Amino acid sequence: GQSLEQPSEVTAVEGAIVQINCTYQTSGFYGLSWYQQHDGGAPTFLSYNALDGLEETGRFSSFLSRSDSYGYLLLQELQMKDSASYFCATGSNTDKLIFGTGTRLQVFP
Amino acid sequence: DTAVSQTPKYLVTQMGNDKSIKCEQNLGHDTMYWYKQDSKKFLKIMFSYNNKELIINETVPNRFSPKSPDKAHLNLHINSLELGDSAVYFCASSPGLAGGPDTQYFGPGTRLTVL
């Protein structure tokens, strides 16, 4: 089967750095995506990793280790507006995205 | 311009009723999806269509029937609604199929409450 695991909740203060981990079991794995969802909103795409290593997009970076079936999202210089749920998702040869259980990030002043 | 739009945004109805949700995307994408997000925020794919053809039917009860009149539209009809159908339903689209690197663009969601 396919499964992804993330921590259910992470808290941090403004200006800090936080890492959200994701471990997966996915047959025919292609890549790992990250999506952000604010309360009452829709998921929005943040990043995609197909190869091992770090991808950086502004304050957000995403890492993938295919050999470890592991990835993480790194959020730097946290802002209050970063309070949201973050989902990792795996793409595979099944032509569908499987989403993780989501990590709720709360940023405190 | 809204990229992926859904109507209605909220839907409150009684058990046993039939209801429809409509979705339209103006991104020129080939693939559209329906997802269900439950109260625990678990996001699960229900269906995907590529150029109006059904690609994925994720063991959804046959009370749910998607229809894609053209590649810009994907509607969801639900018969005999049950309490467990209460959830937020998201439509999404992507340029190609979901397995690859294409970003999926989500609509604003339809919050369905079955009483």
Q: Kindly report, residue by residue over A9-57, the tens digit of the pLDDT.
A: 999 999 999 999 999 998 888 899 999 999 999 999 999 999 999 999 8
- Assigned token pair, B108: 């604003």
Q: Which pLDDT belongs to residue B1?
A: 66
Q: Kindly report, residue by residue over B11-31, the tens digit of the pLDDT.
A: 999 999 999 999 999 999 999
The answer on pLDDT for B57 being more than 90 is no
What is the C-alpha separation between B104 and B8, in angstroms, rounded?
A: 21
Q: Are the C-beta atoms of residues A101 and A47 closer than 8 Å to each other?
A: no
What is the C-alpha separation between A76 and B44, in angstroms, rounded?
A: 29
Q: Kindly report, residue by residue over B91-103, the tens digit of the pLDDT.
A: 999 998 766 777 8
Q: Kindly report, residue by residue over B78-94, the tens digit of the pLDDT.
A: 999 999 999 999 999 99
Q: Give chain A positions within 8 Å (CB) of B109.
A: 41-42
Q: Which pLDDT belongs to residue A1?
A: 67
> A103-108 and A9-13: which strand pairing?
parallel
Please judge whether B99 and A28 are an interchain contact, meaning their C-beta atoms are less than 8 angstroms apart.
yes
Nearest-by-Cβ selection for A94 from B99, B103, B104: B99
Q: Which pLDDT belongs to residue B99?
A: 65
- Closest to B92 in 3D by CA, of A27, A37, A64, A24: A37
Q: Give chain B positions within 8 Å (CB) of A93.
A: 99
- Closest to A32 in 3D by CA, of A89, A86, A73, A74: A89
A70 touches chain B (CB under 8 A): no
Estimate to the nearest angstrom the gap between the alpha carbon of A68 and the chain centroid. 16
- Closest to B46 in 3D by CA, of B111, B90, B108: B90
Average pLDDT across chain A, whole number: 94
